[in-house]
Structures are given as structure tokens and as C-alpha cells.
Structure 1
Amino acid sequence: MMMIRATAEEDWEVLREIRLASLLDAPRAFGTTHAAAAANSEAQWRDRAAGRGPARFVLAFVDGVAIGIAGAVVSAAGELNLIAMWVKPGSRGSGAAAGLVEAVKQYAVSRGHSRVVLDVSSENLRAAAFYRKLGFAFLPVWEALESHPDITVQKMQWVSP
């Protein structure tokens, strides 16, 4: 049975493990690098897991094993951003990704945000199609991916009905 829930401080090792796995699996898909994330201290991972900081994370579990991650962070512009979205390759298509996105949407609404934004590479057709299926639409906003400036990402948004 799948369970999706927000992380707590005691989940710091699981959060670290799945985040580092995501960065190894898709090193050019995220705004940070594996090396940068791996350099974080235990205290930093504990703070992330506990939500002490700008981001809040949710994990998807099957039989107690983390299979996916997503995060939410409020940008300097006050937008709630869906970040760190990733599901283990063997669990893709299981509904975990949709569950993680829905958890971030619910978190956004519970915090008074009526919209969620994310960045996706125009080359990542599968991800773009997935987000569109979940109600996200492209905006005419493009920028370089912070961790890989040679990659251009486009902003997508979801607006609460």
C-alpha cells in the first residue's frame, strides 16, 4: 500500500537517501547538483526533513520504503514552487508521482497559495505531459536552470479551482 506524507525530522536519512538518488538518476533535471546536496551536514538534512527552512518535503512510501519525493518552496516573488519532484524508475506509473503533486497542491492551498508553479525542461516531454495532465499550463517564462545554465526551463502553473 502506498502512503504519501510530509517528512519529519526523524526522516532525515530517508530524505537524504532519496534526494541523492534523484540527483544521481537525473543530474540535469534539478536546480542543485549531487555534489552540493551530498555536502550537506546531518543538521542540514534534519532541518530540511523537519521543515525548518524554506522548503517542505513529502515522500511516497510503499511497504515502508521511500519511492518518491517532492518539495514545496516559496520563491522570493512569493510563488509556491513545486521542486525536487522524482520517483524511482521502477515505481514510475504507480500513481506515486500524481500523489506527490497532489500533496504539494494541498499544502499550497492550506498555506493560502492559490497557485503552484514549477520549471520543466522543454526537452522533457514526458514530464511536461504529466504536469499538463494534472492541470498545469505553460507560461511564457523561460530561464536557465541554476545548476546547469546550458539547460533552459519553462515555467508551468496550476491554479486552484
Structure 2
Amino acid sequence: MSHIVIRPTSAADWPALKSTRLAALLDAPTAFGASHASAADFSDADWQQRAVSTPQRTFFLAFNAEQPIGLAAQVVAGNGECHLIAMWVRSEYRGLAVAQDLVEAVKRCAVGNGHARLVLDVAPENARAAAFYQKQGFVFLPEWEALESHPHIRVQKMEWLAVA
């Protein structure tokens, strides 16, 4: 296996961000708040803007050589909560350290931006993801909400706290 690199995206990464995000939404349509159809409607300019990293929103891509193989993002919500979103790894790379390294990158980014707490939403039916996040130090909170893209699916909030 060649060397896997994880880095924040820049404007030039928009084609890789677009292809990876659309692949994720096709692969796991009920795992994300966005739908494939809504993301497919974004213009190239929208993708370029999304690829620019800011303290409010940073996408991370995992690359194997030039091939994007995974994605995760840190997004600060309107209420100031820092969220881990858009987490996805190509099936042939699951079970390796790629997902863990993506989560680590998001944690470092969040802490670097002054957030001691990171939250995410997971559907309890997605047992593999829930178990993975628990291994990464996330704990379930008694908070539930409907998934924006599929309102019949209830997702539970998990949180990770940086060690002071």
C-alpha cells in the first residue's frame, strides 16, 4: 500500500472534494444530512468555495497517491458547536487507519481553532460507525434529532472532549 496523505483542502482540490463527496452520498445515502441530488446541483464555483479551508469549515481529504479515498470535515454551527461531518472512506480502505487518521485531523483542527469539544450525529442502526466513533473517544449523549436528508431516521449526538 502506498503512502496515504491526509490534508485540508484548498480551492484547487475542488474536483477531488466533489467526486469524493458525491461518491460518499451515493454509497451511504442515509448516513449524511445532505442528499446526493442536492450536492449534485452545486456549481463548480460552489465546490471551489467549499474547498477553501476556514476556521468555520475545513474539509480534509485522504489521498492514496493522487486518488482521493476518504473525507471528513470540521464545521462550526451557528450555535458555536464544532461538528465532525461528512465522514466517509472508500470501501476498499475501510478497516485500515484512514478513518482514524481523518478523525484525528478533524480533532486537531477543532482544538487548533479553540474548540475543546467536537460533536457528531450517528444513526444507531449504523452500528459499525457508532462503534468506530466510540473507539475514537466519542460518547453518546441523550440528544436525538431527525436526519435532514431522511427525516424518518433519528440520529443520536455523540461528543468528544479534548483533554485539558
Mark yes or no: TM-score above 0.5. Answer: yes
Q: Which residue of 2 aligns with 1:18?
A: 20
d(CA) in 2 for partners of 1:113, 1:148: 29
Query: 1:53: Cα distance to partner?
Result: 9.1
Q: Which residue of 1 aligns with 2:102?
A: 100
Q: Which residue of 1 aligns with 2:47?
A: 45
Tell me whether 1:4 sits opposite 2:10 in the alignment: no
Structure 1 alignment gaps of length 5 or more: none
When you count strand as a share of all residues, which structure comes out higher?
1
Paired-residue identity, %: 55
Query: 1:52: Cα distance to partner?
Result: 5.9
Residues 47 and 53 in structure 1, CA contact (< 8 A), matched pair in contact too: no
| Deviation beyond 6 Å, 4+ runs, structure 1 | none
Of the three residues 113, 120, 123, the one matched with 2:122 is 120
Q: TM-score, normalised by structure 2?
A: 0.96
How many residue pairs end up in the alignment?
161
Q: Which residue of 1 aligns with 2:139?
A: 137
RMSD after superposition: 1.1
Tell me whether 1:153 sits opposite 2:155 in the alignment: yes
Q: TM-score, normalised by structure 1?
A: 0.97
Residues 115 and 158 in structure 1, CA contact (< 8 A), matched pair in contact too: yes
Query: 1:54: Cα distance to partner?
Result: 4.6
Q: 1:97 to 1:124 in 2, by over 3 A?
A: same
Query: 1:105: Cα distance to partner?
Result: 0.2
